[in-house]
Amino acid sequence: MGVLVLYIREVDLKNFRNFTDYTIYLDKGTNIILGKNAVGKTNILESIYLLSRGRSFKTSRLSEIIKYDEDNFFIGIKAVRSSGEFTAQFGYAQDNKKQIKINGIEINKQSELLGNIYTILFLPEDLYIVKGNPQIRRNFIDEALLQIRPNYTYDLMRYYKVLKQRNNLLKNIAKKPSLRYTLDSWDEQIAAYGIKVATIRARFVETLSRAVADIHKNLSGGEELEIKYLVNFGNNIDMYRELLKSSVEKDITYGQTTIGPHRDDIKILLDGKAARTFASQGQQRTIALSLKLAEIKIIRDNIGESPVFLLDDVFSELDDDRKMCVMKNIKDIQSVITANDIHMDGSWNVIRLGVI
């Protein structure tokens, strides 16, 4: 586990998106970035997220982040921890060369950034955690687990690697049936890693469901929220193996594995009904926000420190009561919030972009 950051004090940007050379100073509490559309509010959130996770939430191509007509970008963060100042830097050049430093010491892997600055991100499209397809919900759970259980990365990557190899074999068996005898060894591996992934996910969802219940009741004015993890291969490895064997004909026909945690889902119930079907868009957005707030609580309980909460345009579709409830829930942590305008009173650090 890396050094635990208490709060980010300063973010320096060079040739990052629309910023040529810009420094933003943050308070340890609530920071609200105000400005019209296209002035770069979300870009600031992206820079903090990138330096905490090693990747962007907007693009998989770092070259797209470089300011037009430039050939590199740089992000620097100065943060405060209990033992003193902490610094992190991320530089990227057009020739695909990266330079990442933590406290002035260069690191070789982007994954080494994890565990130094914990962040939770809320975007307007996060309502698709509720209304979207199962892959979006699985990604939400996996992203949360990668922060609080770094070893989960290994099991997840191994599972998907074996899954890809088994799927390739299934396609080859359709052309060459004599290869079928080799399936058993892949079934053993996929069952071993799959049961690990599903077990870790299921335990996390149980914790998440407990954490989110009170948060959502408070945020929504009394609605009951429950989260359940739905597996499609039983609850033990023997049942998993049997289902893999019984589905082999279908798997060969489709050229893909139809059983396993890559097909699991998370059921979200609002007052006992499926939120994906029965909740309004406003309710779905509130559920997504409640899930993010619950994730903060879980990180605090597991890590002992609060993550930085990054919220993009969170106020646009919330009524005043829910806005104030959100602000109350995040008053004890550092948050960076983007908005076009805000019509609430509070002792917040307000940063105005696009104002001379």
Q: Which of 118-132, 169-183, 225-239, 340-354 has the lowest mean pLDDT?
A: 340-354
Query: Which of 275, 295, 330 corresponds to the end of one domain?
Result: 275
In a domain, 254, yes or no: yes
CA 351 to mean position of chain CA atoms: 25
39 known member of a binding site: yes
CATH code of the domain covering residue 204: 1.20.1050.90
Supply the mean pLDDT for the chain.
92
> Per-residue pLDDT for 112 more than 90?
no
Q: Is 199 labeled as ligand-binding?
A: no
In this prediction, residues 4-23 reach a mean pLDDT of 92
pLDDT for 5: 58
Q: What is the pLDDT of residues 39-56, one digit of tens each?
A: 999 999 999 999 999 999
Q: How confident is the model at residue 355 (pLDDT cuts 50, 70, 90)?
A: low
Say if residue 138 is in the same domain as residue 97. no
| In contact, 270 and 103? CB cutoff 8 Å | no
41 is in an annotated binding site: yes
Report whether 40 belongs to an annotated binding site: yes
Q: Is the pLDDT of residue 6 over 80?
A: no
- Residue 324 shares a structural domain with residue 247: no
Of the three residues 230, 256, 275, the one that is the final residue of a domain is 275
Residues 232, 313, single domain; the answer is no
User: Are residues 12 and 111 located together in one domain of the fold?
Assistant: yes
pLDDT of residue 169: 97
- The number of distinct structural domains making up the chain is 2
Asked whether residue 356 carries a pLDDT value surpassing 70, the answer given is no
Domain shared by 62 and 186, yes or no: no
In this prediction, residues 279-297 reach a mean pLDDT of 94
Residue 173's domain comprises 134-275
Residue 1's pLDDT is 43
Is 127 a domain residue?
A: no
Instruction: Decide if 297 is inside a domain.
Output: no
| Same domain, yes or no: 114 and 138 | no
Taking residues 162-176, what's their average pLDDT? 96
Q: How confident is the model at residue 2 (pLDDT cuts 50, 70, 90)?
A: very low
Q: Which of 15-29, 35-49, 296-310 has the lowest mean pLDDT?
A: 296-310
Query: 175 with 217, same domain?
Result: yes
Question: For residue 129, is it within any domain?
Answer: no
Tell whether 141 and 269 lie within a shared domain. yes
The predicted pLDDT at position 289 comes to 95
154 shares its domain with 259: yes
pLDDT surpassing 90 at residue 3: no
CATH number for 346: 3.40.50.300
**What integer is the mean pLDDT of 11-23?**
97
- Residue 37 marked ligand-binding: yes
198 assigned to some structural domain: yes
Check whether 345 has a pLDDT greater than 90. no
The answer to whether position 270 is within a domain reads yes
**Quick check: is 123 in a domain?**
no
27 and 139 belong to one structural domain: no
Please check the confidence at residue 223 and state whether its pLDDT lies above 80: yes
pLDDT at 131: 96
Query: Would the pTM count as exceeding 0.85?
Result: yes
Is there a binding annotation on residue 78? no
Q: What is the pLDDT of residue 4?
A: 55
Domain end point (choices 252, 275, 298): 275
Is residue 56, in this structure, part of any structural domain at all?
yes
36 has binding-site annotation: yes
Question: Same domain for 262 and 314?
Answer: no
Q: Are residues 112 and 139 in the same domain?
A: no
60-108, pLDDT tens digit by residue? 999 999 999 999 999 999 999 877 889 999 999 988 889 999 999 999 8
